[in-house]
Structure 1
Amino acid sequence: MVKKLLLYPFFLLFLTFSSFAQDISGSWSWNSVDGGNMFTIDLIEISENNYRGNHCSVYLHGERIDCNDNKDEFSIVLIRKAENIFQGSIRSGLSYAVGNVQLQYQPVENRILFSLKTNPKGEYYIPVEGVLVRN
């Protein structure tokens, strides 16, 4: 009985952290240190391991814009590869070329580490790396 009572707080802690894990649905944003560049993504859960979404990048204080203009199609396709790790593709709204991305969700901080793993061909304005926070 005493062992069960001692394990109970650890079980509650585990449930608390697992309930935060994996939910990346919603709006996320990143701004460069100088404020001249910004990047946003909006994600929805399609199924347990699949997310889709759209992005918008504004670079050089608004002189370059790379957004998905076609709201009938998603510019981001993600699949959960491991606990809090999502990999997939992003299609530039400027060149329509596709690059590969990885997102690592950090549930305690409620943020996403974004990495552009393979650059799209042609002209694009998507950060190579960024820490996105939930809006």
Structure 2
Amino acid sequence: MISRPVADLICLWHGLAAHPREALLTRNHHQWRGAGFIALIALLVVTGAPGFPAGVLLPALLFAGPSWALDLIGTLTHGLWESGRIWQGVECQCCGGDPDDGDDESGPDDPADDGGLARDVEDWLKNQPTNATT
């Protein structure tokens, strides 16, 4: 079974290859895990925590640096996209756009709650003739 972080990385790299603009725009909404990991290691090195010499920063940068760089690039491109300077035809999936192009529009006269299956069964039972013998 593939763990969640590995599956996320596979999905990210697939998205960058298939749809780089959309992947970069959604990267702005990422949680900045790479930067947090690097900051945590740096804090442990600076405070002199046991087992965290200065040489630990290089593997941390190599491990989390690409993720952090994509976060920075995603934030920059999202800012430029919001201001209308790049990719006007591209829609950010996280900013509220409907990814299915709005084909499921409902009219204003549609009821908010039609009751579902329970309502249908109730209506059907009300309309059934009774076997009353007199």
* TM-score, structure 1 as length reference: 0.22
Bigger strand share: 1
* TM-score, structure 2 as length reference: 0.22
Larger relative contact order (CA 8 Å, sep ≥ 6): 2
> Rg: which structure is higher?
2
